[in-house]
Amino acid sequence: GYYSTILGLHGIPSIAEEAIIARDILIAEYTHTAVHIAHVSTAGSVRLIREAKKRNLKITAETAPHYFTLTEEALQGYDTNFKVNPPLRSAKDVAAIKEGLLDGTIDAIACDHAPHARTDKEVEFEYALNGISGLETSLALSLNLLHDGTLSWEELVAKMSTNPARILNLPKGTLAPGSDADITVIDPQLKWTADVKDFQSRGKNSPFNGRALIGKAVMTIVGGVIKYAGASFKS
Dihedral over alpha carbons 48, 53, 96, 152 (to 10 degrees): -170
Give the largest CA-CA distance in the chain: 56
In b/e form, how buried is each residue of 115-135, taking b as 16+ CB within 10 angstroms? bbeeebbeeebeebeebbbbb
Residues 81 and 116: beta-carbon distance below 8 Å: no
In sign, the C-alpha dihedral spanning 140, 218, 235, 159 is: negative
Catalytic residue among 112, 182, 187, 195: 112
187 counts as catalytic: no
What residue type is assigned to position 15 of the chain? I
Residue numbers annotated as active site = 112
